[in-house]
Amino acid sequence: MSQIKAYSASASKARVLPTEIERRPVGTNDVQIAIEHCGVCHTDIHFVNNDWGMTHYPVVPGHEIVGRVTEVGSAVSNFQVGDRAAIGCLVDSCGVCSNCEKGLEQYCLNGFTATYNSETQDPGGFTYGGYSQSIVAKESFVLKVPDSLNGPGIAPLLCAGITTYSPLKNWKIGPESKVGVIGLGGLGHMGVKFSHALGAHTTMITSSEQKGEDARLLGADEVLLSSSVDALVQEAGSFDFLLNTIPVNHDLTPYLELLKTNGTMCVVGAVEPLSQVNAAQLIFGRRSLSGSLIGGIAETQEMLNFCGEKNILSEVEVIRMDEINDAYTRMQKNQVKYRFVLDLGSLN
């Protein structure tokens, strides 16, 4: 066992503070990574606050992990010491259910093992995430970082990136598509980048004129102000696909009207009940309302490779580990463009 520095929360709504945790020894099929950067996700705040009623304390958040390989098991073939490597939201799954066999580990029918807060035989009984100096994981859940990608902007690709890339690929978005990205934040800014890179005509749908201008810089072709009823009416029935990144319960009515017949809205932001859905809009337009989680390991690697080819990175603000509590406060006030990334060198 190895004792390492980390940051954890010990109770609901507690501050995230320095601690020490144990990591398991490197097994035959394991890769050990010294963590350089870890993205900060809204999910981290939800788990620290126990918003979903499933947190086990102490919790060490962090599932957007990038670093260097420091040790490999005897059976590891794809990684060597010194390689850059990454870990996203998953570190294991059953591997035998129908979804796992299709490379859809994120929908494992027996429940995947999350990078933090999942039951494990490792020290502590639950997985510990990337707010730490190092991590040990199975080679099959470790990702390669393309040589062409550099900097802290890689980290959020492991969650915000794959969360937006996966539905765009699943619905075969390309040059013939008209895509609307609803909401410009950690997810929305990646949605704009990916939709643009896939060749789609990309519209940022936002209530903020300033965010609209920011979206144009990220690759949006147009901006649609959701606060303007006239603008929404003019665009009714014109979109093939809507990527909805709004993180809280909201009325879908004005957005569903934007879809063409056979169009799809995919929800990736609000992990909670949506109380206002008008089924008539779906029925009379043969529209679809769907959702999407992250991607499987193969698709996440595909996404990283695509980012390497297109030079796509997240827009980030780098912070020290001891600034995490202030970062949480700012995130809840939408005071970041567009993701915080922890410099784990600050733990040394």
Q: Measured between alpha carbons, how far is 79 from 83 in angstroms, rounded to an integer?
A: 6
Q: Is the pLDDT of residue 320 over 80?
A: yes
Q: Is the pLDDT of residue 113 over 90?
A: yes
- Within-domain flag for 222: yes
Which residues are CB-neighbours of 221 under 8 A, at least 6 positions away?
Answer: 196, 201, 202, 203
Task: Please report which confidence band the pLDDT of residue 24 belongs to, taking 50, 70 and 90 as the band edges.
Answer: very high
64 shares a domain with 12:
yes
Residues paired with 317 in a beta bridge: 340
- Within-domain flag for 69: yes
Strands 17-23 and 316-320: unpaired
Q: Measured between alpha carbons, how far is 211 from 225 in angstroms, rounded to an integer?
A: 10
Query: What's the per-residue H, E or C state across the chain?
Result: CEEEEEEEECCCCCCCEEEEEEECCCCCCEEEEEEEEEEECHHHHHHHCCCCCCCCCCECCCCCEEEEEEEECCCCCCCCCCCEEEECCEEECCCCCHHHHCCCHHHCCCCCEECCCCECCCCCCECCCCCECEEEEEHHHCEECCCCCCCHHHHHHHCHHHHHHHHHHHCCCCCCCEEEEECCCHHHHHHHHHHHHCCCEEEEEECCHHHHHHHHHHCCCEEEECCCHHHHHHCCCCEEEEEECCCCCCCCHHHHCCEEEEEEEEECCCCCCCCCCCHHHHHHHCCEEEECCCCCHHHHHHHHHHHHHHCCCCCEEEEEHHHHHHHHHHHHCCCCCCEEEEEHHHHC
Q: According to the model, what pLDDT value does residue 78 have?
A: 96
Q: How many CA atoms lie within 13 A of 315 on its CB side?
A: 18
- Within-domain flag for 307: no
Q: How many CA atoms lie within 13 A of 188 on its CB side?
A: 27
* Rounded to 5°, angle at Cα 286 from 283 and 289: 85
215 shares a domain with 228:
yes
The whole domain housing 328 covers 2-159+314-347
118 shares a domain with 166:
no
Q: pLDDT of 234-272, one tens digit each?
A: 999 999 999 999 998 999 999 999 999 999 999 999 888
132 shares a domain with 171:
no
Q: pLDDT of 122-138, one tens digit each?
A: 999 999 999 999 999 99
Task: Please report which confidence band the pLDDT of residue 1 belongs to, taking 50, 70 and 90 as the band edges.
Answer: low
Q: Tell me the average pLDDT of the chain.
A: 96
Percent of the chain scoring above 70 in pLDDT: 100
Q: Measured between alpha carbons, how far is 91 from 130 in angstroms, rounded to an integer?
A: 12
286 shares a domain with 186:
yes
Q: According to the model, what pLDDT value does residue 226 have?
A: 94
Q: Measured between alpha carbons, how far is 88 from 39 in angstroms, rounded to an integer?
A: 10
- Within-domain flag for 75: yes
42 shares a domain with 18:
yes
Give phi and psi for 276, each to the nearest 5: -120, 90
- Within-domain flag for 228: yes
91 shares a domain with 47:
yes
- Within-domain flag for 207: yes
Q: According to the model, what pLDDT value does residue 310 have?
A: 97
206 shares a domain with 150:
no
Taking a C-beta distance cutoff of 8 angstroms, is the pair 263, 135 a contact? no
202 shares a domain with 125:
no
90 shares a domain with 164:
no
Task: Please report which confidence band the pLDDT of residue 2 belongs to, taking 50, 70 and 90 as the band edges.
Answer: confident
232 shares a domain with 122:
no
Q: Which residue has the tokens 């993180």?
A: 247
Q: How many CA atoms lie within 13 A of 284 on its CB side?
A: 7
Task: Please report which confidence band the pLDDT of residue 276 belongs to, taking 50, 70 and 90 as the band edges.
Answer: confident
- Within-domain flag for 298: no
Domain count, the chain: 2
Which amino acid type is present at position 211?
K
State the sign of the Cα–Cα–Cα–Cα dihedral 168, 237, 196, 208.
Answer: negative
CATH of the domain at 201: 3.40.50.720
Answering whether pTM is above 0.85, one says yes
Taking a C-beta distance cutoff of 8 angstroms, is the pair 107, 170 a contact? no
Q: pLDDT of 164-205, one tens digit each?
A: 999 999 999 999 999 999 999 999 999 999 999 999 999 999
174 shares a domain with 143:
no
CATH of the domain at 115: 3.90.180.10
Q: Measured between alpha carbons, how far is 205 from 212 in angstroms, rounded to an integer?
A: 8
